[in-house]
């Protein structure tokens, strides 16, 4: 299983399951979370939905998506296939 790892602001690393593994929202307050880093949107880091995925896996931060696409080496959603 591939696991995405990204350096966070504190110099540590955040790990997240690939989008197809994270199909349910684990947030207790029902808020939307980024499917890569599992964090909610912030004032300067809004959640976007760049592909045809639906439900809780449709949301992603722009920077998380950029890092994910650069690491994976292709520009297509692994879940819905949209480019």
For the chain, the domain total comes to 1
> Does residue 15 belong to any structural domain of this protein?
yes
> Does residue 81 belong to any structural domain of this protein?
no
Is 38 a residue whose pLDDT tops 80? yes
> Does residue 47 belong to any structural domain of this protein?
yes
| pLDDT for position 29 | 58
Alpha carbon distance 2, 45 (integer Å) = 25
The predicted-structure confidence for 64-76, as pLDDT tens digits, reads as follows 999 988 998 888 8
Domain containing 13: what range? 4-72
DSSP helix/strand/coil, 42? strand
Is 27 a residue whose pLDDT tops 50? no
**Residue bearing the bigger pLDDT, 8 or 42:** 42
> Does residue 80 belong to any structural domain of this protein?
no
pTM, 2 dp: 0.60
> Does residue 65 belong to any structural domain of this protein?
yes
Alpha carbon distance 3, 30 (integer Å) = 24
CATH number of 23's domain:
3.30.40.10
> Does residue 78 belong to any structural domain of this protein?
no
């Amino acid at each position: 299983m591939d696991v995405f790892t990204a350096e966070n602001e504190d110099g540590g690393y955040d790990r997240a399951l690939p989008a197809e593994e994270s199909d349910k929202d684990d947030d207790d307050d029902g808020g939307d979370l980024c499917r890569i880093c599992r964090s909610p949107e912030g004032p300067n880091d809004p959640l976007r939905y760049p592909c045809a995925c639906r439900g809780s896996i449709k949301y992603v931060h722009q920077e998380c998506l950029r890092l994910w696409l650069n690491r994976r080496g292709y520009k297509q959603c692994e879940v819905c296939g949209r480019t």
